[in-house]
Structure 1
Amino acid sequence: MKIESSVISEVGTNNLFPVFLKLEELTVLLVGGGNVGLEKLSAIISNAPLTQVTVVAIEINEGIRSLAATHGNIRLEQREYSAEDIDSAAIIITAIDDPFTSEQIRNDAKSKGKLLNAADKPALCDFYLGSIVKKGNLKIAISTNGKSPTIAKRLKEVLNDVIPGELDEVLQNMQVIRNQLSGNFTDKVNKLNSITKDLALKNNIDSKKGERTWKRIATYSLAAFFFMILGHVLLSYVPFSAITSSIKSIPGQIEPIFYWMIAAGFAAQLVDGALGMGYGVTCTTILLSLGVNLPVISGSIHTAEMFSSGMSGYSHYKFGNVNKKLFKALLIPGIIGAVIGAYMLSKFGTKYADYIRPVLAAYTLFLGAKIIYGAFRKSKPQKVKRVGWLAGAGGFLDSFGGGGWGPLVTSTLISKGRTPKYVIGSVSISEFFVTLASALTFFSMLGISHWQIIVGMVLGGMAAAPIAARLAGRLPLKTMFISVGSLVIFWSLRILLKSLGVF
């Protein structure tokens, strides 16, 4: 009886059959103790930590020794390879630069029916080690049929960024649902299809309703705040009995600091547009160096930043970059922290300015160091805990210190392995409500006497926005982080030393 295959083999295609092994139930022989051997051993331990591995090599580097010191299932034997080493192993991996020995190991493995992978020698391999994308219980292996490990590595990086870590929670929930179903396999599949179809439709409807709701809230909040400011300015500075004379007197009322604020807004927006963070800390550093009143600094920054964060947050929401669960976890604690920070700075900022100014300078110095650290840090996936406390601290320090929501909240979540796309989107949309709450608090306690600072920063930011958008992605990100961080540190040190009377 002839069985026809549903898969048609084509010349030049990848005909490898993908298999996921329970490697922890097998034994592995690794021949080679150099950097390539370390790479292979690290791949084994990261995917199957309890696998019994025997490493045989004439020389064993420190990286392998360090790994063996923390894993009791790795055995090191510093000697030459012998044919008997294969007997107790189910899988053999070679990582040596000796063609003769590699050929010998290949023949020994073949004669004893053992599978072998030879690093950088596709012709000797029975199987290849692919690049692995791991998100909890989800694991994706990428193979290029031994043609280009570099391409496989690049695809791994792309998928790691695209696939959210939260997908593992979906898998956990689906398993719970699956275990509760009864019937045969076909019945379970049909029921799961029905359940997920309903959820998809429901989520689509909820998404549209949620989008309309939050869009209305953001629009009404922004409009209300705008008309509050407009009414205050009209009633305070433009008496209706003398509109013409007031308009003529406006140029004479503009102070020189207005033009400095345009420059500050321009610089801050340029940094924020290129890095995705740094607006507040850049403005705070510049305004501190100009001697602006402390509560006015933070109030002005948050009022000006509110407009840009509103547009940015809505754009992220529109393009599906927002994780609703993360957004809700950040929102309320962030607002509470921002209101408390704004209240405390408004209440005590002027009276204790001589004490608070060096503290804020030290804080911006810390943020500058954190920005530089971000240029060299590699993210390590971890479960993020106490997101609400992080948001509360970020909101408080952002209001009290004039900046820090991005460097603290965004960078912390990304460093814990969260998907950057969803972190930036969720933090951006929550930032609008945080800055709105902060600006309303400052407005209610300080009024709007510092309107020239706000208008100057808004105008400067508007001028810099298109330039920043053009620069984003074109300049080396690492260089930008180091440059901005160094500049913030320099100005913060200057302010700190000046506040302490050093010069």
Structure 2
Amino acid sequence: MDKHTMLPVLLKTDAPRFLIIGGDAAGLQKAQELLRQNRDIRLRVVARSFSPAFSSLLSGYPQVALLEREYDSNDLKNTDFVIVAANDTALEHEVKQQADHQNVWVHLVHRPELSDFHLDVKPAKKQDNEKKYSKLAFRIAAVFLAVFFGYSLSAIITVDQLGLYASQIPAPFYIMLAVGFFAQLVDGAVGLGYGVTCSTSMMLFGVNLASISGSIHTAEMFSSAVSGYSHYRFGNVNKKLFLWLVIPGVIGAVAGSLLLIFLGNKYEDVTYAIVSTYTFIIGIRLIIIAFRKNIEKKPVKTTGILGFAGGFFDAFGGGGWGPIVTSTLLAKGRKSKYVVGTVSLAEFFITLTASLVFFSSLGVKYVYIVAGLIIGGMMAAPLAARLAGKLPQKAAILAVAALVMISSLRVFLRFL
């Protein structure tokens, strides 16, 4: 849309009928903008699935109709303005063509240059001032707490003593800090890679497999808690899928942990070979799917078995929850944003279970490695959650495929 041909118009929102297509963060934002302007606005929203925040609109705005299904051309009937918030090029062109034929104005959130109108709803000045005051109060409080605790700490530990303590921290701590940050950034944004990245790094220090798995799960328990909560806040979690994954996954994690403790490293190579063969095949399938014009959504009939296998191999092999569960769900045509968010939240309970089993039997070893992984992972988790769903579907699938196949090849090379 050429900005020189645009004419600002004030529209009364009492009579027009609005339709939003898309149930993720972009659709929620547009719905909130319209409802902020007129809480009685006539609004319908169509989407394959809705975030928890979107669903909560029903309680405050009973006139808002949330239709959880595929878009249909009949949705344009009795509609004056349609907003396409789904980042789907094919769907955008389809809606635009059908809307033009029916003289319905269209706003494409991700393709503004093709839109018939732009939605420019600004919050009231009072709300702006309240936000400014809230931010200012938060910053003042943060500065006060920093000064207060800094001054209190200086009375206990001098700067020289603090420097001495810092110099005594072993170098592997800082290495694991970077490893934990990068591993969680990849895992939280794409849905896998944490265990593979961490286990590879820890092998360089000569740590045995049981201690590797125990340390990784202890560290990942903290970072996955932050990541899972962040994904839940951003509406990236499918609750039904979560329950089908987490219960069998916990059972599988207990079985895998106990088997690893009692059998030691005897079947280590066999386990890695099985997981790597499976994930390598999944990686090839993902590449094929990514280059299809339309990714066909297929039912996942064995979600419970998938969760059990992911939990078992994750605990027994030091990683595998992401490569097995995430890649399989994406291969079935599930949307990457909700797959990553749901799998990440379920991962917390898997790692918690494995950590409790390992801790009760092995204790906590290599404290500085665990501490580095924990701190680095927690720093990266919120950023990774914001990145989830930002990549186009094809790019996210290719990224998952690349990580899966690289980790599989890494294990294959061990047998040469």
TM-score range, shorter chain: 0.5 to 0.7
Given that 2:310 and 2:324 are in contact with CA atoms closer than 8 Å, whether structure 1 keeps it comes out as yes
Structure 1 segments unaligned to the other structure (5+ residues): 1-132, 145-149, 159-244
Cα distance, 1:422 vs structure 2: 4.2
Does structure 1 residue 360 correspond to structure 2 residue 272? yes
Aligned to 2:349: 433
Tell me the distance in 2 between the aligned counterparts of 1:334 and 1:324: 15
Tell me the distance in 1 between the aligned counterparts of 2:390 and 2:412: 34
Larger Rg: 1
Does structure 1 residue 411 correspond to structure 2 residue 349? no
Deviation string, structure 1 residues 426-476 (Cα, Å, up to 9, x no partner)? 333322212111111111111012322211212332454576567666767
Percent identity, aligned pairs only, is 50
Structure 2 segments unaligned to the other structure (5+ residues): 1-66, 78-87, 97-160
Indicate which of 173, 177, 202 corresponds to 1:258: 173
Cα distance, 1:153 vs structure 2: 3.4
Aligned to 1:154: 92
Tell me the distance in 1 between the aligned counterparts of 2:375 and 2:310: 27
Given that 2:223 and 2:381 are in contact with CA atoms closer than 8 Å, whether structure 1 keeps it comes out as no
Deviation string, structure 1 residues 342-361 (Cα, Å, up to 9, x no partner)? 111122234x2xx5146426
Cα distance, 1:487 vs structure 2: 6.4
Cα distance, 1:139 vs structure 2: 4.6
Given that 1:410 and 1:424 are in contact with CA atoms closer than 8 Å, whether structure 2 keeps it comes out as yes
Given that 1:142 and 1:152 are in contact with CA atoms closer than 8 Å, whether structure 2 keeps it comes out as no
Tell me the distance in 1 between the aligned counterparts of 2:91 and 2:219: 43
Does structure 1 residue 317 correspond to structure 2 residue 232? yes
Aligned to 1:272: 187
Does structure 1 residue 446 correspond to structure 2 residue 362? yes
Aligned to 1:348: 263
Higher RCO (C-alpha 8 Å, min separation 6): 2
- Paired AA for residue 308 in structure 1: S
Does structure 1 residue 397 correspond to structure 2 residue 313? yes
Indicate which of 374, 381, 386 corresponds to 2:286: 374
- Paired AA for residue 262 in structure 1: L
Given that 1:372 and 1:485 are in contact with CA atoms closer than 8 Å, whether structure 2 keeps it comes out as yes
Does structure 1 residue 304 correspond to structure 2 residue 219? yes
Matches within 5 A, 1:62-101: none
Matches within 5 A, 1:21-420: 139-140=72-73, 153-154=91-92, 252=168, 255-288=170-203, 290-350=205-265, 352=266, 355-357=267-269, 359-360=271-272, 363-364=275-276, 366-367=278-279, 370-371=282-283, 373-377=285-289, 379-420=295-336
Tell me the distance in 2 between the aligned counterparts of 1:407 and 1:493: 13
Describe the shift of the 1:335–1:484 C-alpha distance in structure 2 as closer, same or farther (beyond 3 A): closer
Cα distance, 1:143 vs structure 2: 7.5
Tell me the distance in 2 between the aligned counterparts of 1:438 and 1:490: 25
Q: Under a length normalisation based on structure 2, what TM-score does the superposition of the two structures give?
A: 0.53
Given that 2:286 and 2:401 are in contact with CA atoms closer than 8 Å, whether structure 1 keeps it comes out as no
Deviation string, structure 1 residues 76-104 (Cα, Å, up to 9, x no partner)? xxxxxxxxxxxxxxxxxxxxxxxxxxxxx
Tell me the distance in 2 between the aligned counterparts of 1:319 and 1:474: 12
Cα distance, 1:323 vs structure 2: 3.5
- Paired AA for residue 346 in structure 1: I
Describe the shift of the 1:156–1:318 C-alpha distance in structure 2 as closer, same or farther (beyond 3 A): farther
RMSD: 4.3
Tell me the distance in 2 between the aligned counterparts of 1:289 and 1:356: 17
Cα distance, 1:412 vs structure 2: 2.3
More moved, 334-343 vs 321-330: 321-330
